Amino acid sequence: MKHSPNNPLLLSSSLHVDEARAAIRNLVRELLQEGGSTQDSNFIETVTLDQALNRILAQDLLSPIDVPAADNSAMDGYAFDGTCLNTNNSEITLSIAGTALAGKPYEGSISQAQCLKIMTGALMPKGCDTVIPQEFTSSSNNQSITFTRSQLKAGENRRLRGEDLQKDQPAIVAGRVLRPSDLGLAASLGIASLQVHRKLKVAILSSGDELRSLNQALDPGSIYDSNRYSLIGLLNRLNVEIIDCGIVRDDPNSLKEAFINAAAKADVLISSGGVSVGEADFTKQILQELGDVGFWKIAMRPGRPMAFGILKPIPDQSNPRKTLFFGLPGNPVAVMVTFYQFVRSALLQLGGATQTEPPLTQAISETAIRKKPGRTEFQRAILGRAADGKPTVRLTGSQGAGILRSMSQANCFVILGHDQGNIAAGDWVDIALFEGLL
């Protein structure tokens, strides 16, 4: 990576959230261009449809057929030749010549004074281009129907061949994170397997002398390592392969060994803890030897300190590629916020996805919120609905960066922009729903 005096990777003064995001996006783009990623054709694999959910499509999926394959009825009703509507009579009566069912087409042909009973999805019989829905017709016997001419125009209630999708047109474009509807769409085209990017390998570790594993007793001053489990959950949402490197002590040799091990195996390493003032210095030293990492102070709350960059390939190891590195802060809420704001998009981008930004929406704040301009804030909140049906949002209690319960109770972030000041009750605010994301 080239360094220039204005390379934000080297900035240590306060960085705008958008600058941090742009620097991450650019570095990931460089990695993709170097080919050290899932973009390489060696990194494409074929999966059957039942295994394809949440995988990232690697090639445009071209439709092998027209959809629908032939003109068919959009309604239950009666099919006829629409030229019979060219008359001055206000009522039209047609005799019923037979029935066309979905999967059982009518083979014969009919005259202009005739119609066919037809079901939704049945092929349009020869000579018919229009369908009158059943409920617009009356019939005194089972041999003919009568309807008012003004109720429809010629050609209505018919689905045309290729109307949904034409042969050789992309049904799903490369870079899509595959959703249930995409699997259904592929199946409707008769496609049984898809080309997808291989899963990213993401290593995680927690650093801190105070951290204990879940099966250990808590001695005075120690706490359970919760960050690794939040990260496991967040990473599972993104469908990556997780390499759990456990807890690492605040000791230069242990940390160095852990970073080297992770870089030898993973596309991405995410650590938490050890990047705040006081601790950052010795982490910095190690990372300087192993790669090119910036220590950022981001103008955001929570989540101010964060390290980001690359670890160089380790000589004689199986992974010849650079490893993307995120050193997240230790506070449990800050871990989730920085993951949401920075890591998620980077993993999607590196994994081959084109749509990487999480969706935002807006709601009305139920209360006033204090906010200083000059930093982006991510407050935990619950989205609800007012009596008039408008979306409303209220904060979940104490907003400290270590209070994971505020995150667990919440169903969204209220995101207050860098330049925004205090919020009054009744103001609209940006929100990001957790569902599907966090």
Residues that bind ligand AMP (CB under 6 A): 206, 208, 210-211, 223, 225-227, 272-276, 279, 329-332
Cβ 179 to ligand AMP, closest distance in Å? 32
Q: Which residue's CB is nearer to Mg ion, number 175 or number 274? A: 274
Q: Which residue's CB is nearer to ligand AMP, number 73 or number 207? A: 207
Q: Which residue's CB is nearer to ligand AMP, number 25 or number 212? A: 212
Cβ 330 to Mg ion, closest distance in Å? 5
Q: What CA dihedral angle connects 38, 41, 44 and 45, to 10 degrees?
A: -150
Q: Which residue's CB is nearer to Mg ion, number 274 or number 351? A: 274
Q: Under a CB-based contact definition with an 8 Å cutoff, are residues 266 and 317 in contact?
A: no
Report which residue's Cβ sits closest to ligand AMP. Answer: 330
Taking the C-alpha atoms of residue 427 and residue 255, their distance in angstroms, rounded to an integer, is: 47
Chosen from ligand AMP, Mg ion, none, partner binding at 377 (C-beta under 5 to 8 Å by type): none
Place of tokens 């980001």: 308
> What is the separation of C-alpha 290 from the centre of its chain, rounded to a whole number of angstroms?
32
Chosen from ligand AMP, Mg ion, none, partner binding at 225 (C-beta under 5 to 8 Å by type): ligand AMP
Q: Which residue's CB is nearer to ligand AMP, number 243 or number 433? A: 243
Cβ 307 to Mg ion, closest distance in Å? 13
Report helix, strand or coil for 344: helix
Taking the C-alpha atoms of residue 378 and residue 301, their distance in angstroms, rounded to an integer, is: 6
Q: Under a CB-based contact definition with an 8 Å cutoff, are residues 1 and 293 in contact?
A: no
Q: Which residue's CB is nearer to ligand AMP, number 239 or number 276? A: 276
Cβ 210 to ligand AMP, closest distance in Å? 5
Cβ 290 to ligand AMP, closest distance in Å? 19
Report helix, strand or coil for 219: coil
Cβ 343 to Mg ion, closest distance in Å? 19
Question: In terms of Cα–Cα distance, which of 1, 20, 24, 26 is closest to 297?
Answer: 20
Report which residue's Cβ sits closest to Mg ion. Answer: 208
Q: Under a CB-based contact definition with an 8 Å cutoff, are residues 359 and 429 in contact?
A: no
Place of tokens 């030898």: 264
Written as one letter, the residue type at 93 is: T
Cβ 281 to ligand AMP, closest distance in Å? 12
Chosen from ligand AMP, Mg ion, none, partner binding at 329 (C-beta under 5 to 8 Å by type): ligand AMP
Report helix, strand or coil for 105: coil
From the list 77, 125, 133, 208, which residue makes contact with Mg ion (rule: CB under 5 A)? 208
Question: In terms of Cα–Cα distance, which of 275, 277, 297 is closest to 16?
Answer: 297
Cβ 255 to Mg ion, closest distance in Å? 11
Q: Which residue's CB is nearer to Mg ion, number 207 or number 406? A: 207
Mark the segment that binds Mg ion (CB under 5 A) among 35-43, 191-199, 208-216, 319-327.
208-216
Chosen from Mg ion, ligand AMP, none, partner binding at 175 (C-beta under 5 to 8 Å by type): none
What is the distance between the terminal CA atoms of the chain, rounded to a whole angstrom?
Answer: 31
Q: Which residue's CB is nearer to ligand AMP, number 99 or number 276? A: 276
Q: Summarize the chain as % helix, strand, coil (round to 5).
A: 25, 30, 45
Q: Which residue's CB is nearer to ligand AMP, number 132 or number 401? A: 401
Site residues for Mg ion, window 245-304 (CB under 5 A)? Answer: 273-274
Q: Is residue 305 a contact residue for Mg ion (CB under 5 A)? A: no
Cβ 316 to Mg ion, closest distance in Å? 31
Chosen from ligand AMP, Mg ion, none, partner binding at 171 (C-beta under 5 to 8 Å by type): none
Measured at the CA of 308, the angle between CA 23 and CA 360, to 5 degrees, comes to 60
Taking the C-alpha atoms of residue 9 and residue 35, their distance in angstroms, rounded to an integer, is: 21
Q: Under a CB-based contact definition with an 8 Å cutoff, are residues 411 and 382 in contact?
A: yes
Q: Which residue's CB is nearer to ligand AMP, number 23 or number 211? A: 211
Beta strands in 26-159 (DSSP E): 44-48, 61-62, 72-73, 77-80, 91-100, 114-118, 130-133, 144-148, 158-159
Determine which helix (DSSP H) or strand (DSSP E) holds 351, and give its type and residue range: helix 344-351
Chosen from ligand AMP, Mg ion, none, partner binding at 210 (C-beta under 5 to 8 Å by type): ligand AMP
State the CB neighbour count (10 A cutoff) for residue 26.
14
Cβ 280 to Mg ion, closest distance in Å? 10
Site residues for Mg ion, window 330-369 (CB under 5 A)? Answer: 330
Question: In terms of Cα–Cα distance, which of 226, 420, 433, 430 is closest to 333?
Answer: 226
Binding residues for Mg ion, rule: CB under 5 A, are 208, 273-274, 330
